[in-house]
Amino acid sequence: MNRLVPPMSSLSLKLPTAGGGLETYRLAASRTFPAKLEGTLNRVAFSAAHVVADPRADVDPWLTAAVDWDRTIAFREHVWDLGLGVAEAMDTAQRGMGLDWKTSLELIRRSVSAAKAKGNALVFSGAGTDHLAVQDARTLDDVIRAYEEQIAAIEKVGGRIILMCSRALAKLGRSPDDYAKVYGRVLSQVREPVIIHWLGDMFDPALAGYWGTSDLDKAMDTAVAIINAHAGKVDGVKVSLLDKQREIDMRRRLDPRVKMYTGDDFNYAELIAGDEQGFSHALLGIFDAIAPAASYALSRLAAGDEVGFHDVLGPTVPLSRHIFKAPTRFYKTGIVFMAYLNGHQDHFTMIGGQESTRSTLHLAELFRLADAAGLLANPELATRRMKTVLATRGVES
């Protein structure tokens, strides 16, 4: 189970290649990871979870979010069984790319209820300002009121808060003082400590210049100052800049009470392992796609087996870098494709028609990398489903 280069299996299929041809690809022997957490964890680890679309709903998928609630909640129960927390209604759930605030709140309500039924499983939920159209945001007080409305709604259903970045604030905020005003007002009112989310513009171009500047060094100065000034109200900060060194620099500057949650889907393995000065916890979209491997790797780390941790998690990094390659905002397509390959849903349909945002070649390479990392839970099923998708895209496999 812990071999870096597994032997080949008898399964094969034809996959498209960059030159326009086809190659016969033979699958590696699969790894088997536990379906539930074995042991304990010494890192707090969240999976930002996707939503399962309802492909039979009579809606215009570009305009209306139709969710298969049963499958969506079942996936969260799968994540909780593995000892991971759920970061709910975040960008992985297509928040702001198909999932509106009304549907997000229903998702949060159902998820919080399911978590309580699971014995108070860990779930934090995204609060932002996305019900406020950016063009309608005139003042910073408009932004504050929008945050307050979503926070109140989530707290009313018993949820904990992830304070998401605001496109409206990115438009209006011109200085560190503007951000200090908004975050200071909002944080002063939350019931329980929140996770602050710093999402880079590679994930959402509308967030360019967040913290009042395009200079990332100055932006970090502002973010750290605000977070440390309100450390009693901040559980942690999730940084999604895909910049390993900036994350390390920031975590070393945080108040000791504040956790760093890596959101770096390119370098998470080494950031979670840490160094002599500290480590990062995790809040990652890629953990949706690799949850069983992530759970097992983290349990090995907690048991003092760092070699085993890297042996399992290291091979997942090339897949993650592929899924999150530019344009990074389209990574959700790869996340949902992995859920389809692994049997968590019966179709490759996404809210907003987002299954179309990645090419057939991209999906073929995803299949190769997932197989190489031992992430295809049922290789026979995954192979059949890969062939089905290829056929719908005109590739006979």
Distance of alpha carbon 317 from alpha carbon 117, whole angstroms: 33
Q: What is the pLDDT of residues 65-122, one digit of tens each?
A: 999 999 999 999 999 999 999 999 999 999 999 999 999 999 999 999 999 999 999 9
What would the DSSP string read from start to end of 153-176?
HHHHTT-EEEE---HHHHHH--SH
Token pair in block for residue 326: 């530019």
Map tokens 């707290």 to a residue.
Answer: 155
Q: What is the mean pLDDT of the chain?
A: 96
Res 5: pLDDT: 45
Instruction: Tell which residue, 165, 129, 135, has the closest CA to residue 149.
Output: 129
Token pair in block for residue 15: 């996959």
Distance of alpha carbon 185 from alpha carbon 261, whole angstroms: 23
Span 298-318, mean pLDDT? 98
* CATH class of the 41-305+314-358 domain in this structure: alpha beta
Hey, what amino acid is at 263? G
Q: What is the pLDDT of residues 313-372, one digit of tens each?
A: 999 999 999 999 999 999 999 999 999 999 999 999 999 999 999 999 999 999 999 999
In this structure, the number of other CB atoms found within 10 A of the CB of residue 228 comes to 15
Instruction: Grade residue 10 by pLDDT with cuts at 50, 70 and 90.
Output: confident
Distance of alpha carbon 232 from alpha carbon 41, whole angstroms: 24
Q: What is the pLDDT of residues 201-255, one digit of tens each?
A: 999 999 999 999 999 999 999 999 999 999 999 999 999 999 999 999 999 999 9
Res 29: pLDDT: 76
Q: Are 386 and 18 in contact (CB under 8 A)?
A: no
Distance of alpha carbon 90 from alpha carbon 164, whole angstroms: 8
Q: What is the pLDDT of residues 29-71, one digit of tens each?
A: 779 999 999 999 999 999 999 999 999 999 998 889 999 999 9
Chain mean position to CA 284: 4
Q: Are 312 and 2 in contact (CB under 8 A)?
A: yes
Span 274-294, mean pLDDT? 97
Q: What is the pLDDT of residues 144-192, one digit of tens each?
A: 999 999 999 999 999 999 999 999 999 999 999 999 999 999 999 999 9
Burial (CB count <10 Å: 0-12, 13-18, 19+), residue 305: middle
For the chain, the structural domain boundaries read 1-30+361-397, 41-305+314-358
- pTM, two decimals, is 0.95
Span 282-306, mean pLDDT? 98
Distance of alpha carbon 137 from alpha carbon 356, whole angstroms: 32
Q: Are 317 and 284 in contact (CB under 8 A)?
A: no
Hey, what amino acid is at 117? A
